[in-house]
Chain A
Amino acid sequence: MGHQSIVHLEDTTKIYQQGKVEVCAVDRLSLSIKKGDFASLCGPSGSGKTTVLNLIGGLDIPTSGRVLLENQDLAILTRSQISAIRRDRLGFVFQAYNLIPVLTAYENAEFVLRLQGVSERECRDRVMAVLKEVGLEDLENRRPDEMSGGQQQRVAIARAIVSRPAIVLADEPTANVDSATAESLLDLMQRLNQDYGGTFLFSTHDHRVMERARRLICLKDGRIETDEVRR
Chain B
Amino acid sequence: MTLGKMAWRNLWRRKRRTFITAFSIGFGVMLTVTFTGTGDYGYTKMINAGAIMGLGHVTIEPRGYNQTPALDKRLLKAEQIREQILTMPGVSDAIVRIMGQAMFASARKTVGGMFMAIDPAQDSAEQNLLLRSLVHGHLFSSAEGRGVVVGTKMAEKLNLRIGKKLVYTTTDIYGEIVSEIARVVGIFETGVDEVDGAMVLLPISSVRATLHYDVQDATLVAVIINDHRRAKSVRDQISAAVGNPQREVLTWKQTQTELAGIITMDKSGNYIMQLLIGLLIAAGLLNTLLMSVLERKREFGVMMAVGMSPATLFRLVLVESFWLALIGLIVGIIITTPWYAYLYYVGLDFSGAIGEGYNAGGVLVDPLFKIRLYKESIIAILAGVFSLTLLSGIYPAWRAGRIPPVESLKVI
Q: Report A's interface with B, CB cutoff 8 A.
A: 54, 57, 59-60, 79-80, 83-84, 86-88, 90-92, 94, 98, 100-103, 107, 110-112, 114-116, 159-160
Contacts and interface: CB of A to CB of B under 8 A. Distances in A.
Contacts of B162: none
Contacts of B6: 100, 102-103
B1 interface: yes
B309 interface: yes
A115 B315 CA distance: 13
A97 to B, nearest CB: 9
A159 B312 CA distance: 18
Interface in B1-38: 1-2, 6, 9-10, 13
Main secondary structure of the interface of A (DSSP, over half): helix
A103 B6 CA distance: 8
B10 A92 contact: no
Interface stretch (B50-58, B296-304, B385-393): B296-304
15 contacts: A59-B404, A59-B405, A59-B409, A79-B309, A79-B310, A80-B309, A83-B307, A88-B307, A94-B302, A100-B302, A102-B6, A102-B13, A103-B9, A111-B306, A115-B309
Contact of B307 (A60, A84, A100, A103): A84
A75 B392 CA distance: 34
Given A86-B306, A92-B305, A103 B406 contact: no
A101 B9 CA distance: 10
Contact of B306 (A54, A60, A87, A102): A87
A112 B406 contact: no
Nearest to A123: B1
Given A102-B6, A110-B1, A83 B298 contact: no
Contact of B310 (A80, A94, A100): A80
Given A83-B307, A87-B306, 20 more contacts: A57-B305, A60-B406, A80-B310, A83-B304, A83-B308, A83-B310, A86-B306, A87-B307, A90-B307, A92-B302, A98-B298, A102-B9, A107-B1, A110-B1, A112-B306, A112-B307, A114-B2, A115-B308, A115-B309, A116-B307
Contacts of A57: 305
Interface of B: 1-2, 6, 9-10, 13, 298-299, 302-312, 404-406, 409
A115 B310 CA distance: 12
Given A79-B310, A83-B309, A114-B1, A100 B409 contact: no
B299 A86 contact: no
Nearest first, the 5 closest Cβ-Cβ pairs linking A and B are A87-B307, A102-B9, A83-B309, A59-B406, A98-B302
A116 B310 CA distance: 14
Contacts of A103: 1, 6, 9
Contacts of A79: 309-310
A94 B409 contact: yes
Specify which of A54, A59, A80, A92 lies most central, judged by the most chain B CB atoms within 10 Å of its CB.
A59
B407 to A, nearest CB: 9
A97 B302 CA distance: 10
A120 B13 CA distance: 26
Contacts of A60: 406
A96 B1 CA distance: 23
Given A80-B311, A101-B299, A159 B306 contact: yes
Nearest to B402: A79
Contacts of B9: 102-103
A115 B406 contact: no
A31 B409 CA distance: 24
Nearest to A87: B307
Contacts of A114: 1-2
B12 to A, nearest CB: 8
Q: Tell me which of B9, B305, B307, B311 has the highest count of chain A C-beta atoms within 10 A of its own C-beta.
A: B307
B1 A115 contact: no
A101 B310 contact: no
B239 to A, nearest CB: 58
B317 to A, nearest CB: 14
Contacts of B305: 57, 59, 86, 92
A54 B304 contact: no
A159 B1 CA distance: 14
A87 B308 contact: yes
Nearest to A98: B302
A92 to B, nearest CB: 5
B44 to A, nearest CB: 48
A101 B10 CA distance: 9
